[in-house]
């Protein structure tokens, strides 16, 4: 007996239809960070470009922040939650190993019974999710896909580590990806360099922390080899970004916006120079007041560019995420 195959929902292309973001209510300036490390506001700003970040309160969980961002993205897309056929959540800070937080979000937004799963790809997680969503819409397995990048990195920050204590923030950003009659999400240029995995990692695995006495091992946190990561991002990610432009068939002067992962202001400035971006290109610099929010950084930065009018609907933007793994993903999109 032959199984019945449902007619495909596939579209010629896919696009971002809406975007939403959520930043926790607590704003944490550098002065608070300096209570735990021997440094200065000037040093933090010069090294990273960060003046403040948002840290989540007890009730601002990964799920709750995601729901806030998702609701805004769905409304911005002009659809209802029942139209969502898949939910993809990029995060490294949801501490429940299973089930995926995507399943809780799908249920609580009232999406029915969509496909739902989490993606662990560090700071490239959102761009990975965006690429997966595009494929689902085009191949017909989903009509609309909700992609969320969310982090509570304050839970994984060693506040006494001078190298990382000032870097990380919390928040959630979301987009809805749906059908399009014209190209609006370009080919993905993505990959990994696992030989460099030690440069950004969790200090100890959960099982080692479980089996040790509290006085033997500190709670797991994110650590990184700052100089090695900086060199890799500056020299290698500019090449990946250029490959994404080439794959989309455009040049840097045809861009309207550049939305890189908000890792470090100096990295952003170096990539601008390497790509020879003209002055008219709006550049996301959300890191100054949001910090590094890993998987949430690109959608949060996208939302802010649009909300402030620095970029507008229909603009062509280059997005690139890169981080722990080391993994990366870049693509060119039309802004919602």
Active site residues: 123, 261, 292
Among 80, 73, 63, 67, smallest CA distance to 143 is for: 80
DSSP-derived 3-state class of residue 112: coil
How far is CA 175 from each of CA 43, 134, 192, 302, 336, rounded to the nearest angstrom? 35, 12, 24, 10, 9
DSSP for 122-145, please give it: GGGHHHHHHHHHHHHHHHTS-S-E
- Residue 139 has a CB neighbour count (10 Å cut-off) of 13
How far is CA 97 from each of CA 39, 91, 217, 294, 323, rounded to the nearest angstrom? 36, 12, 21, 19, 21
Residues 84 and 146: beta-carbon distance below 8 Å:
yes
Residues 122 and 295: beta-carbon distance below 8 Å:
yes
Question: Rounded to a whole number, what is the distance in angstroms from the first to the last CA of the chain?
Answer: 45
How far is CA 40 from each of CA 49, 157, 285, 319, rounded to the nearest angstrom? 13, 18, 21, 32
Say whether the peptide bond before residue 248 is cis (omega within 30 degrees of 0).
Answer: no
Identify the residue whose tokens are 């944490």: 28
| Separate counts of helices (H) and strands (E) for the chain | 10, 14
């Amino acid at each position: 007996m032959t199984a019945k195959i449902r007619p495909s929902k596939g579209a010629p292309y896919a696009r971002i239809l809406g975007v939403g973001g959520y930043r926790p209510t607590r704003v944490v300036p550098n002065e608070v960070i300096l209570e735990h490390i021997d440094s200065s506001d000037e040093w933090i700003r010069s090294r990273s470009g960060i003046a403040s970040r948002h840290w989540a309160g007890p009730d601002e969980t990964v799920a709750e922040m995601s729901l806030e961002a998702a609701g805004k993205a769905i409304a911005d897309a002009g659809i209802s939650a029942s139209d969502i056929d898949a939910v993809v959540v990029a995060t490294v800070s949801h501490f429940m190993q299973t089930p995926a937080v995507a399943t809780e979000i799908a249920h609580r937004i009232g999406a029915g019974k969509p496909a739902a799963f989490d993606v662990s790809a560090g700071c490239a997680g959102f761009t990975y999710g965006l690429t997966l969503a595009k494929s689902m819409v085009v191949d017909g397995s989903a009509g609309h896909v909700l992609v969320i990048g969310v982090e509570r990195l304050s839970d994984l920050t060693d506040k006494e580590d001078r190298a990382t204590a000032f870097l990380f923030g919390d928040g959630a950003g979301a987009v809805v990806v749906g059908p399009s009659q014209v190209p609006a999400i370009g080919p993905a240029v993505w990959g990994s360099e696992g030989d460099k995995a030690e440069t950004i990692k969790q200090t100890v695995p959960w099982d080692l922390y479980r089996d040790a006495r509290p006085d033997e091992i500190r709670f797991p946190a994110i650590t990184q080899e700052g100089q090695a990561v900086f060199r890799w991002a500056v020299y290698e990610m500019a090449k990946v970004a250029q490959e994404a432009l080439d794959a989309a068939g455009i040049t840097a002067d045809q861009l309207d916006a550049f939305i890189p992962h908000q890792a470090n202001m100096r990295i952003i400035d170096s990539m601008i120079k390497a790509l020879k971006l003209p002055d008219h290109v709006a550049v996301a610099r959300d890191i100054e007041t949001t910090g590094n929010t890993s998987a949430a950084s690109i959608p949060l930065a996208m939302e802010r560019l649009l909300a402030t009018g620095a970029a507008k609907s229909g603009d062509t933007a280059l997005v690139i995420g890169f981080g722990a793994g080391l993994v990366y993903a870049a693509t060119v999109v039309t802004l919602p």
